[in-house]
Chain A
Amino acid sequence: DAGVTQSPTHLIKTRGQQVTLRCSPKSGHDTVSWYQQALGQGPQFIFQYYEEEERQRGNFPDRFSGHQFPNYSSELNVNALLLGDSALYLCASSWWSGTGGGSPLHFGNGTRLTVT
């Protein structure tokens, strides 16, 4: 039973470029959340997708966008990259819990993005 898979594992981009990160959820999960984790910090919520719709968004600018596909996989897109976007980007999958709050998250290994 495959867990959450993310690609690529590492990425180096230049300021102003655009990047797309990909995520396949754990088998049986229908909800995908994206988190940004700076060095020495806790994961920061970017957004969550369920039924191909963005259900909740964290405090991130519109440069961050996403998509969920019918097979539940997801993409995170970041436009006009800034140096401050350098971080570990984590995808987490779960069962949809609606307003019940907090179905446990299963994280992928993450994508390490470096912006130079």
Chain B
Amino acid sequence: GQQVMQIPQYQHVQEGEDFTTYCNSSTTLSNIQWYKQRPGGHPVFLIQLVKSGEVKKQKRLTFQFGEAKKNSSLHITATQTTDVGTYFCAGPGGGSNYKLTFGKGTLLTVNP
């Protein structure tokens, strides 16, 4: 079945440093979505990428969708303590576009 893998599993940074998490799918995706889950909270939708090679920015966050539509990345510039949480990528597939398959996530901690 479809697999969505994320690396790294954990990342600890000093406040102000940059952070990048990578997502790879075993199958081509029609789109990819990113979610953020704060400790003790629930996943919150950040963005959806649809086009091959697409790049979208949200303030200090930059999201990329690979040319082959099988990989994606999230880059945070100059991290802040408010960026703490687990970042998940998710893509439809596994024989059906009805469901989203989530990666295991990257837990980001920021030292002030």
Contact = CB atoms under 8 A, between A and B. Distances in A.
A45 B99 contact: yes
Nearest to A101: B97
Interface stretch (B13-21, B54-62, B74-82, B100-108): B100-108
B43 to A, nearest CB: 5
Contacts of A73: none
Interface residues of A, number: 27
Interface residues of B, number: 27
A105 B45 contact: yes
A33 interface: yes
A109 B42 contact: yes
B31 A102 contact: yes
A37 B68 CA distance: 29
A43 interface: yes
Interface in A77-94: 90
B88 interface: yes
B98 A56 contact: yes
Interface in A1-56: 33, 35, 40-45, 48, 55-56
Contacts of B31: 101-102
Q: Which 9 A-B pairs have the closest CB atoms?
A: A101-B97, A42-B102, A101-B92, A56-B98, A102-B92, A107-B42, A101-B30, A45-B99, A104-B45
